[in-house]
Structure 1
Amino acid sequence: MMVLNDRRRLLGACAGTAAIVLALSGCAGGAADAESGEASAGGSEECIAAVASAVEEGLAPSPLVAPSAPLDLAALSGKSIWYITNSHNQFSTEMASGVQEAGEEAGVKITVFDGQNSTSRYSEGINQAVAQGADGIILMAIQPSVVAEDLKAAEAAGVQVLSTLNGDPTEPVEPGTFGNFTADYTADGELMAQWVLNDSGCTSKSVVVQSSPVHVWDLAAKGFEAATKELCPEDCSVEVIDLDPANIANDLGNQLQTALQTSPDVDYVVPVWDSAIPLVAPVVATAGRPITVFAHDGISESLELIASGQDQQGTLAMAPPTWIGWAAFDEVARAILGEESPGYVIPTRLITEENVGDGSIADVSPEYVDFQSAFTEAWSQ
C-alpha cells in the first residue's frame, strides 16, 4: 500500500518537469544495462532520473499484507461463502484454492462456481447462492453492474458480496457490494510505463494491448499512457490497441501485426494481462527486430517464461493468487460478522530477469512463502 502511494507521489513530483502529451512508450534508443539496471543515455535526463528511483523501488519485494485483528472463528463456524468467478483459468483456480484453504481453517463451507464468461451464468451463480442460504459471496472479475438486479436480491437476503479485481481500490463501492478488493491498476499502469521508460533510456516507442470493456485493463492502459505523457512527452510514443473482448483470440494477432508493420520503430509491446502472451509472442517473433514484451499479473507461466528468457521480458506481478483468496475470504468473513473492512489492496512487484530467480514464490514473493501462518495467528489472537 505504501509502495503504491509512493509511486503516485513520485509522479506528482515530476509534473513540473515534464509537459503532458497523450502518448505511451516503446524503445527506439538505449536499452537498460542488464547488469546494473541503469538506463543508457538517449532520452531526457529529467525523465531518466525521475523513473530510476520508482523502478528501483518497484523491483523490491512486496511487504506481507496480513490481518492485524482476530477473527471470531466460533461465530463463523457453519457459515457459507460462494466464490463466483468469471471463468475457469489458472489464476481463478489458484485463487479458489486459497479461498477453500481459508474456509477449511475457519470452519466455513466454500462453494466454487464457474461463470464460464457468461452473464447468464453469473446471474445463475448469485441466485443459487442466495437460494441456498449463502452468507457471503466473492465476486471475482465480474463487474457488479452486469449483475445489478441479482445483487439487489442478494442484498435483500442479507448476503455480503465482495467485488474482487473489478477496479481501483479508490473507486466507489458498487451497489449490492460492501467493498472492492483489488490491485491499484492505475498506479500499476504508471509503474509499467516507468519501467519501460527506464529500460529504454526514455526513448521508447510502445504498443499497448488492452480491451477497454474490461475495466481493470482500461485503468492500467490509461495509467501507462498518462505516466508516459507526463514523463516523456517529446521522445516517446504510444499506440493503444483496443480489442473487442468477444474476439480477442482472433483480433489480437492481426491488429498487433499491423501495428508492428506500419510502425517499424516500435520496440515495446505491453499487453496489460499476462495470459495474452501466447497470442503476442508469435507476432513479435516474426517482426524481424528486437522487441521487449512486458505485461501484468504474474501468473506462473509468465514467470517461467521470464526465468527462461523466452517470449516475455517482464511483468508487474501481483501477490500470489492463493494469498488473494485468503485475503478475500478474510474480507467477507469480517463483513459477515459485522466488522469493519480491513481495506486490503493487492500488492504488486516489478519482475524481470534481474529478480525472477526460478519464478517460484520464494524468489518472486519471498515475504509470502508462509503467509497462511500470518492469517491463522492473527485470527486466533
Structure 2
Amino acid sequence: MNPRMVATVGTLLIAAALTACDSGTDADAPASTPAGEKTGLAAEVDKLTRPLDAYPVPTAKIDNARSLAGKTVYYVPITMQSPQFKVTLSTLTKAFDTVGIKVQSCDGKGTPTDVSACITQATDRKAAAIVTDAVPYVIAANAFGAAQAAGVPVIISNQIPDNARPASKTLAYIPAGGGPMQEALAKWVTVDSGGTAKVLINQGTDGPAPAVFVGQGKAVYEQSCPNCKITINQVSSANFSLIPSSTSSALLKNPDITYVESQFEQYLQPTQTGVQQASKIGSVKGLTGSVQLGGLQALASKNFLNAAAGQASAFQGWVDADAAMRLILGTELPQYTIPVRLFTRESIGSVKLTAEAEQSGEWYGPTTFTDEFKKIWGVS
C-alpha cells in the first residue's frame, strides 16, 4: 500500500461489534447483569455519548517545521455554508500560526466551477499546499492535476479516497467521521424506537462520499433494526433553496415517517422548515450529523432535534496542519483518527455550549491535544 494511504478513517468512540435486533432494554439483559446497567446496542449508544480520555495525536515528530515559516496554505471547503468547516478553518489557522504558515481560504460554494477556481488560484499563487474539505477529487480533477503538476501538494480531507487517483507524494487523503456519524445516529434511532423506526434522511449529493457515509448507517439498520424503514431524499449545497419543499414532499408521500435526519448541519434549518411545511413538527424526531454549536444549542432547547452526531472539527484543523507540513516536507503521514461523538437531549446538559468550547475541542476530549501537536512540531 502506498505510504500516503495510511491516513484512514476511524473513531475511538464506536464499538466494532453490532448486536442484531437489540433494543437494549434492561429486560434483554442476562440475569447476572446489575439492575440499571445497559447492555448490547444501548451500551454502545451510551458509550458514544461520552468524550474521549485522550485525543489520538500522532507521535512521529516533524524536525524542521519552522523552516516552513512564511509559506501560504490554501483551505478550500466544499461550501462555507457548513458550520463545521468554519471551525476547522479557525483551528487550522491557529495551528499554522505556531510555525509561521499563513492560511488563505476560498469558498467552493458547492459547485465544481467554484471549487476548481479556488484550486487554480492556489496553484497560480504558488501555495505551499492545498487543503480541501469534503471536496471529491472528481469534481475538480483537472485543477487538482494541474496543482500537483506544478508541485503543489494536495490534501483531500473528509472524503473517501478516489481509487482512480491513488495517494502519492503530492496527494493525500484524510477521511473523517462521515460514516461513523451515520452509524452512531442509526444506533440511537434503533434503541430509541425499539426497532420500529421510519426514517427520512436528507442525504447530500456533493460527490460520491455522502451516499457512502449513509450506506454505513444503513448497514447498521439492516443488521440491528431489520424492521426499520429508510427513505432517502437527495439534497445539495448548490440547490439549498429547494431543501424545504423536497423535505415536505417526501414527508407527505411517506406519512408514517417518525424520524427526519439532516445528514449535515448545513441542511438542518431548511430540513426543519420542510418538516414544518408538512405540519409534522410535532410527530417526528429530528436528527443531524456534523453538528456544531448552533445545532447543539437547538438540541438543548428541545426544538425539533432529539439527537445529533458530530466529529471533532477543532482537532481536524490540527490534523490537517500536521498532514500538510509532512506532505510539503516529503515525510510519511501517520494514521489519523478523527473522533466522533453522539449528543442527545439526555446527555446535552453536561456539554458546555459556548464558542470557546467549540473551538477548544473539549466536547470530544481533553484540550491538551494542541500542546501535544506543538511538541511534535518542535514549537512548544
Query: Which TM bucket (shorter chain)?
Result: 0.7 to 0.9
Q: 2:17 aligns with which of 6, 10, 13?
A: 10
Partner of 2:247: 256
Q: Could you say if the C-alpha distance between residues 198 and 177 of structure 1 is closer, same or farther in structure 2, counting changes exceeding 3 Å?
A: farther
Q: 2:47 aligns with which of 38, 57, 72?
A: 57
In the alignment, structure 1 residue 287 sits paired with structure 2 residue 285 = no
Partner of 1:372: 370
Inter-partner Cα distance in structure 2 for 1:363 and 1:325: 10
Structure 2 runs not aligned, ≥5 long: 1-7, 29-37
Q: How far does residue 159 in structure 1 lie from its aligned partner after superposition?
A: 1.5
List aligned pairs for 1:1-381, cutoff 5 A. Answer: 4=11, 7=14, 9-11=16-18, 14=19, 39=25, 50-62=40-52, 63-71=54-62, 72-89=64-81, 90-167=83-160, 173=166, 178-233=171-226, 235-243=227-235, 246-250=238-242, 252-285=243-276, 286-287=279-280, 289-319=282-312, 321-356=313-348, 357-360=351-354, 361=357, 365=363, 367-380=365-378
SS at match of 2:365: helix
SS at match of 2:289: strand
Inter-partner Cα distance in structure 2 for 1:227 and 1:342: 29
Task: Please say if residues 122 and 147 of structure 1, whose CA atoms lie closer than 8 Å, have aligned partners that are also in contact.
Answer: yes
Inter-partner Cα distance in structure 2 for 1:8 and 1:199: 18
Q: How far does residue 209 in structure 1 lie from its aligned partner after superposition?
A: 1.3
Task: Please say if residues 314 and 353 of structure 1, whose CA atoms lie closer than 8 Å, have aligned partners that are also in contact.
Answer: yes
TM-score where L is the length of structure 2: 0.81
Of Structure 1 and Structure 2, the greater helix share is in 1
Deviations 1:260-298 (A, max 9, x none): 334333211112112222112233342164311111112
- Report the identity percentage: 23
Structure 1 runs not aligned, ≥5 long: 19-31, 33-37, 43-47
Inter-partner Cα distance in structure 1 for 2:322 and 2:184: 28
- Is 172-181 or 119-128 further displaced after alignment? 172-181
Inter-partner Cα distance in structure 2 for 1:365 and 1:227: 25
Task: Please say if residues 210 and 242 of structure 1, whose CA atoms lie closer than 8 Å, have aligned partners that are also in contact.
Answer: yes
Number of residues of Structure 1 aligned to a counterpart in Structure 2: 351
Deviations 1:311-363 (A, max 9, x none): 211111111x3322121011010111111112313211001122223434389
Inter-partner Cα distance in structure 2 for 1:177 and 1:163: 11
Inter-partner Cα distance in structure 1 for 2:124 and 2:241: 36
TM-score where L is the length of structure 1: 0.81
Task: Please say if residues 144 and 174 of structure 1, whose CA atoms lie closer than 8 Å, have aligned partners that are also in contact.
Answer: no
Task: Please say if residues 269 and 294 of structure 1, whose CA atoms lie closer than 8 Å, have aligned partners that are also in contact.
Answer: yes
SS at match of 1:111: strand
Task: Please say if residues 155 and 176 of structure 1, whose CA atoms lie closer than 8 Å, have aligned partners that are also in contact.
Answer: no
Task: Please say if residues 9 and 175 of structure 2, whose CA atoms lie closer than 8 Å, have aligned partners that are also in contact.
Answer: no
SS at match of 2:106: strand
Inter-partner Cα distance in structure 1 for 2:377 and 2:9: 24
SS at match of 2:70: coil
Q: Could you say if the C-alpha distance between residues 170 and 247 of structure 1 is closer, same or farther in structure 2, counting changes exceeding 3 Å?
A: same
SS at match of 1:98: helix
SS at match of 1:241: strand
Cα RMSD after superposing both structures: 3.1
Q: Which amino acid aligns with 2:149?
A: A
Inter-partner Cα distance in structure 2 for 1:165 and 1:2: 9
Inter-partner Cα distance in structure 1 for 2:362 and 2:300: 11
Inter-partner Cα distance in structure 2 for 1:73 and 1:316: 34
SS at match of 1:327: helix
Q: Could you say if the C-alpha distance between residues 2 and 54 of structure 1 is closer, same or farther in structure 2, counting changes exceeding 3 Å?
A: farther
Q: Could you say if the C-alpha distance between residues 265 and 85 of structure 1 is closer, same or farther in structure 2, counting changes exceeding 3 Å?
A: closer
Task: Please say if residues 39 and 199 of structure 1, whose CA atoms lie closer than 8 Å, have aligned partners that are also in contact.
Answer: no
User: Following TM superposition, where does structure 1 have runs of at least 4 consecutive aligned residues deviating by more than 6 angstroms?
Assistant: 168-172
